[in-house]
């Protein structure tokens, strides 16, 4: 694959820099947005793009919203079962933990579990009627039937009801009441979400790469038929000329380099590439350049390929905008990993609080200076944050000295600091970083903000690390961790050579590409063993 061609300044093709009329501007656009389906000057310029309501797809509920909704529905399931038991005269005189009450509790727990396994909320329902169908009926039915069957097996000598009629009356009324209550709640939540979407309160913030014909068609289509859950913040293009300053009130904000910086600083949710779908080489070049970004990347609609109808009336055309690069962790992966991080870090801080206090006193008494060492590090999406560590070195004379890696017999180390670093006890305050959401328990280790190779190696020179290790910035697609796959694989401590740093980065990328909760658990276990075996921590 050929590298991306320079398209700026004097190195740009003549068709890009010679802008004397609308026709030459269109020619520049065609040159940049090369489409192998349309060769020659007589190629037909595509007409306006029409976006339908399903062009991009509804925004799915967030994992936290689904979890909260299922928790409410589980409570309603339990309340409906208990109330109908009392009304049917079943389980009278039992304690709260009686056998009949346990049936209801088991069903209340089974309902959200079954709904999750069935993926009742994915994809999001396009109509309220769909919420009252099998998305709700199946989890309710499975929860009731399984809990009743378990009761029959575990309590064989105990009748479930005084008569078959009473049993049927209770089970039927329990199902109907739970169905009605949960259906109303689901519909209410959906109506609130739709109202918020209509007001633009839940809109995804997106940017568009491409200011040529396809970018203009896409942005103008959004302006004609606004999709309330998408808000285009800016568009970008690598040409300095031939690109308008605005397209339908959306401002031109610079080149692809500026797009990367914009995404990192402005909390952008998605990136759209507005190039012809057949311009595959150009699209691959752009994807390669955007490989460090931790957000979904879509192809903007190229042509209308589906025409939907609703209620007998033709609807606006519906093109597709496929996601061509997903972030490394899914929304559910991020949610579960975040919950585990905060739960374990909070528990760890509570259990280790006496040790933390003892180390803090020892650091304070044995050498002058602060107890904690705070240093800017690069975190998720290349954003800096202050990492916490127990101070293990004498106070640095300047900031540059603090950037240097610790080495064996490093004169900057205090006697206590050498011990803390040997057993990784200086890292314990990073549990506060995890609790704040800046770090994870497991992930690529956060490095100091090394601007150039000379900050890392004595004879590294002025070349950026990205120029030496091309995937270095890809480590920042996930949150940094207290420990990681590289650390338990023998790459803990000083990275004295380029090859050692390259191996560390490769292990970090392997972790990102193969993440799972089990992988995190495995790394945490191996970390406990590595602390006692490694000789590279100093």
> Residue 520: what pLDDT?
96
Examine the domain organization and report whether 341 and 462 are in the same domain: yes
Residue ending a domain, among 325, 360, 377, is: 325
Residue 521: strand, helix, or coil:
helix
508 sits in which H/E element: helix 498-513
Q: Is residue 4 part of a domain?
A: no
456 within 8 A of 491, measured Cβ to Cβ: no
Cα–Cα distances in angstroms (integers) from residue 403 to residues 397, 421, 449, 455, in the given order = 12, 17, 8, 7
In the sheet with 297-299, reading across from the earlier edge strand, the strands are 230-236, 204-209, 270-273, 297-299, 323-325
Domain shared by 317 and 278, yes or no: yes
Backbone angles phi, psi at 204, to 5 degrees: -75, 140
* 481 in the same domain as 503: yes
**Do 265 and 163 fall into the same domain?**
no
What is the rounded (10 degree) CA torsion for 74, 80, 83, 87?
-150
CA 382 → CA 267, 298, 316, 385, 473, distances in Å?
A: 12, 21, 40, 10, 8
SS (H, E, C) 227-274: CCCEEEEEEECCCCCCCCCEECCEEECCCHHHHHHHHHHCCCCEEEEC
Residue 63, φ and ψ in degrees, nearest 5: -55, -40
Sign of CA dihedral 462, 468, 474, 478: negative
The model carries a pTM of: 0.79
Task: Give the pLDDT mean for 437-452.
Answer: 87
Task: Give the length of the chain.
Answer: 538
pLDDT reported for residue 242? 79
The pLDDT of 173-196, averaged and rounded, is 93
- What average pLDDT does this structure show over 218-229? 81
Q: How confident is the model at residue 322 (pLDDT cuts 50, 70, 90)?
A: confident
| Within-domain flag for 224 | yes
Cis status, amide bond into 256, omega within 30 of 0:
no
Classify residue 298 by its DSSP letter: E
Q: How far apart are CA 169 and CA 76, in angstroms?
A: 19
Phi-psi region of 267 (alpha: psi -120 to 50; beta: other; left: phi over 0): left
For residue 229, what are the domain limits? 9-37+46-54+202-325
Residues 448 and 377 sit within 8 Å (Cβ to Cβ): yes
Q: What share of the chain is helix, strand, coil (3-state, %, to 5)?
A: 50, 10, 40
Question: In degrees rounded to 5, what are phi and psi of residue 528?
Answer: -60, -40
| CATH number of domain containing 300 | 3.40.50.720
Question: What DSSP element (H or E) covers 297?
Answer: strand 297-299
Q: In whole angstroms, what is the distance from residue 370 CA to residue 355 CA?
A: 18
Same domain, 245 and 279: yes
SS3 424: coil
- The three-state DSSP-derived secondary structure of 325-371 is ECCCCCHHHHHHHHHHHHHHHHHHHHHHHHHHHHHHHHHHHHCCCCC
Residues 267 and 391 in one domain: no
Q: Specify the number of domains making up the chain.
A: 3
The mean predicted confidence, pLDDT, of the chain is 80
Instruction: Flag whether 449 is in a domain.
Output: yes
364 found inside a domain:
yes
Query: What are the helix (H) ranges across 290-330?
Result: none
Looking at 135, 169, 198, the residue that finishes a domain is: 198
176 and 81 fall within a common domain:
yes
Alpha-carbon torsion 464, 374, 409, 534, what sign?
negative
Return d(Cα 335, Cα 313) in angstroms, integer.
41
Domain annotation covers residue 538: no
More reliable by pLDDT, 39 or 513: 513
Output 16 or 138, whichever has higher pLDDT. 138
CA-CA distance, 433 to 446, in Å (whole number)? 11
Residue 305 has pLDDT above 60, yes or no: no
Is 145 domain-assigned? Answer: yes
Within a domain: residue 2?
no
Task: Report the interhelical angle of 134-154 vs 164-198 (nearest 10°).
Answer: 150
pLDDT for the residue numbered 459:
60
Which of 198, 226, 249 is the last residue before a domain boundary? 198
Neighbouring CB atoms inside 10 A of 20's CB total: 7
pLDDT category of residue 141 using cuts at 50, 70 and 90: very high
Taking residue 114's Cβ as centre, other Cβ atoms within 10 Å add up to 18
- 437 shares a domain with 485: yes
| 193 within 8 A of 221, measured Cβ to Cβ | no
Do 141 and 232 share a domain, yes or no? no
Q: What is the pLDDT of residues 230-251, one digit of tens each?
A: 889 999 999 877 788 999 899 9
Closest to 298 (Cα-Cα) out of 383, 380, 204:
204
**375, 442: one domain:** yes
Residues 496 and 517 in one domain: yes
pLDDT in tens, 466-523: 767 778 888 899 999 999 999 999 888 767 778 888 899 999 999 999 999 999 999 9
Is residue 151 domain-resident? yes
What average pLDDT does the segment 137-154 reach? Answer: 89
30 pLDDT band, cuts 50/70/90, is very low
Q: How does pLDDT run across 67-117, given as a tens digit for each residue?
A: 999 999 999 999 999 898 888 877 666 666 777 788 899 999 999 999 999
Lowest mean pLDDT among 187-191, 234-238, 403-407: 403-407
377 and 496 in a single domain? The answer is: yes
């Amino acid at each position: 694959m050929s590298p991306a061609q320079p398209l700026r300044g004097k190195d740009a093709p003549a068709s890009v820099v010679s802008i004397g009329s609308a026709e030459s501007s269109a020619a520049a656009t065609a040159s940049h947005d090369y489409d192998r389906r349309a060769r020659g000057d007589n190629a037909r310029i595509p007409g306006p793009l029409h976006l339908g309501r399903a062009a991009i797809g509804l925004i799915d509920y967030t994992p936290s919203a689904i979890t909260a909704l299922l928790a409410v529905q589980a409570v309603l399931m339990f309340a409906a079962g208990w109330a109908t038991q009392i009304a049917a005269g079943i389980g009278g005189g039992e304690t709260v933990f009686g056998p009949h009450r346990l049936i209801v509790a088991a069903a209340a727990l089974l309902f959200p579990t079954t709904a999750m396994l069935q993926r009742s909320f994915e994809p999001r329902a396009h109509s309220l009627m769909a919420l009252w169908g099998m998305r709700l009926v199946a989890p309710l039915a499975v929860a009731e039937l399984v809990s009743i069957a378990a009761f029959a097996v575990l309590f064989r000598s105990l009748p479930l009801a005084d008569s078959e009629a009473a049993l049927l009356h209770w089970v039927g009324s329990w199902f109907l009441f739970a169905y009605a209550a949960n259906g109303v709640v689901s519909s209410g939540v959906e109506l609130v979400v739709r109202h918020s979407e209509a007001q633009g309160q839940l809109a995804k913030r997106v940017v568009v790469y491409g200011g040529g014909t396809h970018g203009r068609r896409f942005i103008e289509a959004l302006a004609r038929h606004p999709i309330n859950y998408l808000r285009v913040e800016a568009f970008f293009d690598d040409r300095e000329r031939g690109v308008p300053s605005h397209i339908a009130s959306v401002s031109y904000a610079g080149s692809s380099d500026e797009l990367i910086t914009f995404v990192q600083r402005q909390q952008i949710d998605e990136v759209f590439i507005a190039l012809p779908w057949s311009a595959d080489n150009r699209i691959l070049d752009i994807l390669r350049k955007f490989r460090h970004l931790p957000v979904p990347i879509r192809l903007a609609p190229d042509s209308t390929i589906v025409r939907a109808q609703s209620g007998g009336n033709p609807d606006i055309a519906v093109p597709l905008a496929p996601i061509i690069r997903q972030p490394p962790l899914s929304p559910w992966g991020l949610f579960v990993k975040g919950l585990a991080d905060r739960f374990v870090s909070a528990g760890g801080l509570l259990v280790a609080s006496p040790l933390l206090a003892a180390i803090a006193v020892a650091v304070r008494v044995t050498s002058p200076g602060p107890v904690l060492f705070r240093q800017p590090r690069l975190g998720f999406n290349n954003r800096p944050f202050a990492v916490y560590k127990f101070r293990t070195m004498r106070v640095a004379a300047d900031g540059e000295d603090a950037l240097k890696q610790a080495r064996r017999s490093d004169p900057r180390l205090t006697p206590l600091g050498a011990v803390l670093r040997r057993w990784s006890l200086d890292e314990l305050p990073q549990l506060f970083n995890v609790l704040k959401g800046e770090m994870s328990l497991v992930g690529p280790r956060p490095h100091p903000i090394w601007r150039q190779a000379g900050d890392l190696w004595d004879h590294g020179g002025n070349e950026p690390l990205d120029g030496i290790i091309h995937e270095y910035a890809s480590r920042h697609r996930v949150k940094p961790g207290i420990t990681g796959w590289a650390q338990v694989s023998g790459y803990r401590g000083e990275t004295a050579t380029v090859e050692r740093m390259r191996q560390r980065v490769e292990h970090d990328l392997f972790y990102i590409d193969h993440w799972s909760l089990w992988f995190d658990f495995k790394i945490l276990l191996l970390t406990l063993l590595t602390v006692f075996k490694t000789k590279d921590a100093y």
